[in-house]
Homo-oligomer: A and B are copies of this chain.
Amino acid sequence: MPASVTAALLVIGDEILTGRTKDKNIGYVAEYLTGIGIDLREVRIVPDEEAEIVSAVRALSERYTYLFTTGGIGPTHDDITADSIAKAFGVGIDLDPRAVALLSERYKPGELNEARLRMARIPAGADLIENPISKAPGFKLGNIIVMAGVPSIMQTMLDQVAPTLETGARMIIETLEADGLAEGLYAEGLGAIAQAHPTVSIGSYPSFSSSGFRNQIVVRGKDPAQVGGAVAAVRSLLERLRSSAVPARRPL
C-alpha cells in the first residue's frame, strides 16, 4: 500500500462562479475520498472556457495521483469538458461506439440527434464510467476521472470508479470538544503538541451557534500511535485548562 495517494478536484462551470448554482460536490467528494484513503490536496473551480480547463487539467493531473472533474459533459454547446481533456493530452476525440450503445438504450434512433451524440464523444483510450440515471457516461483517461455535475449522477459515478482506484493508508480523524474554552487559551499548548507530533495535523475550529459557540479540535494522521498520543495530549491539556479557567464567553 503506497504511503499516500493524492487527488485534486476540478469543478467546471460558469454557474458555480456566478453563484447561480451552489456547488454540492466538493464537500461530498472530499469526505468520500478521505474515507477511502485518497488525500484530496487541492480543489479548483474554473469557467466553461477551453483554455482554462486545459491549463488546470494539465497542472493538476501532473501533480497528483488522480484528478477528478465534475461538470460540462451534457449535450449543449457549453459542455466542453471531454473535448478540452482530449486537447490537454493531445489525444483524438470522436463518437465512441460503446457510449453510443449506452445512449441508444435510452433514446430511440430518431431521438439520438447530433446534440445528444455529443455526450458520446469520448477521448481515445478512455474507459467509460456508466451512468445509470441518464445513461450519458463519464470516463477515465489516464489518471483523470471525468464525472457529471449533477450531484446524484456524480455520486453514482464515484461509487463505480472508486473500487478501481489505488488507495493509501486511511486518515484517522479524531474530534475533541473544547466547549467552554476559548481558542486563545489552548492555542499555545496545542501548538506545542502539534510540534511534538510532526506526522499529525491538528486543527482548531471555532463555530458560532444560537446557544453561543462551539470549539472543536480535530487531530488527523495516518499513524495510529502518533494520533493516539496527540489525542491523549490534547485531552489532558483541555482537562487541565477546564479545572483552572473561568468558562469563556467567546470562542477566540
Binding site for B on A (CB under 8 A): 11, 13-23, 26-34, 39-48, 52, 74-78, 106-107, 111, 113-116, 118-119, 133-134, 136, 150, 152, 171, 173, 175, 183-185, 187-188, 190-191, 194-195, 201-208, 218, 220, 250-252
Q: Which among B26, B48, B184 is the interface contact of A203 at CB below 8 angstroms?
A: B48
Q: Which among B45, B136, B173, B208 is the interface contact of A20 at CB below 8 angstroms?
A: B173
Q: Which among B13, B22, B40, B134 is the interface contact of A252 at CB below 8 angstroms?
A: B134
Q: Chain copies in the assembly?
A: 2
Nearest to A11 among chain B residues (CB) is B43
Report how far A188 CA is from B77 CA in the complex, Å. 8
Chain B residues with CB under 8 A of A18: 30-31, 34, 40, 171, 173, 220
Report how far A195 CA is from B77 CA in the complex, Å. 9
Chain B residues with CB under 8 A of A150: 206-208
Q: Are B30 and A184 in contact (CB under 8 A)?
A: no
Q: Are B119 and A252 in contact (CB under 8 A)?
A: yes
Besides A21-B205, A77-B194, 14 new A-B residue pairs in contact (Cβ under 8 A), listed by A number: A16-B30, A16-B43, A17-B43, A18-B31, A18-B171, A41-B47, A75-B187, A75-B252, A76-B191, A78-B194, A111-B184, A116-B184, A150-B207, A152-B208
